[in-house]
Amino acid sequence: MLLDRTFLLFITLFCISTVFALNDHTVHSDNWTDEYDRHFQKYSKRYFGPFFDWHWFKAQAIAESNLNANAVSHVGAIGLMQIMPDTFKEINDKNPHFAEVNKPRWNIAAGIYYDRLLYRKFPTTPEQDRLYLALASYNAGYGRILNASRKLETDSPLWLEVKPYMPGETRAYVDRIKKLMDTSS
């Protein structure tokens, strides 16, 4: 029974990754709309500074929703950045000007704001690894990263150290974003 479930999960993840692989043009490709770029640029600059490459968050939105502003997941995550309603409420308590999770502008703003909160949880980790860990936390939850860090007995985890402890979905998620950004390894 367990073997059947494992096999089914493997086949499902393989099929999903195959579909995504066929669809994955880099974030800089003309195959992706630039309709929301101004929001990615604005909120990346606001929460990560003017020198941070905003394309990382566009790539994240592609991984989350294929840039579909009307996307709703089977668990209720909403919009381009696939924000859970309860997470949006928490973010909105600190940012009451974030009007509605259904509006692309505010969905992107909330997603990037949340990325920043996660990014700041790894202050002693090298910058690129901080980003990968923040993205993994966005997908799997910060607690999973924290548990892996405890197993590794480190306060400055690196993505490649944590990666084996992550669910396959999360490893594929971060790998997809890296592929969309056209980064190696």
**Tens place of pLDDT for every residue, the chain, 185 residues?**
555 665 554 554 444 444 444 455 677 776 788 999 999 999 999 999 999 999 999 999 999 999 999 999 999 999 999 999 999 999 999 999 998 999 999 999 999 999 999 999 999 999 999 999 999 999 999 999 999 989 998 888 899 999 999 999 999 999 999 999 987 54
Instruction: With respect to residue 159, please indicate whether it lies within any of the assigned structural domains.
Output: yes
Instruction: With respect to residue 161, please indicate whether it lies within any of the assigned structural domains.
Output: yes
Instruction: With respect to residue 119, please indicate whether it lies within any of the assigned structural domains.
Output: yes
Q: Interior CA angle at 131 toward 172 and 129, to 5°?
A: 85
Containing structural domain, residue 89: 2-180
Instruction: With respect to residue 185, please indicate whether it lies within any of the assigned structural domains.
Output: no
Instruction: With respect to residue 128, please indicate whether it lies within any of the assigned structural domains.
Output: yes
Counted domains in the chain: 1
CA–CA distance, 71 with 62 (Å, rounded to integer):
11
Instruction: With respect to residue 110, please indicate whether it lies within any of the assigned structural domains.
Output: yes
Instruction: With respect to residue 120, please indicate whether it lies within any of the assigned structural domains.
Output: yes
Q: For position 50, which CATH number holds?
A: 1.10.530.10
Residue 153 φ/ψ region, left for φ over 0, alpha for ψ in the -120 to 50 degree band, beta for the rest: left
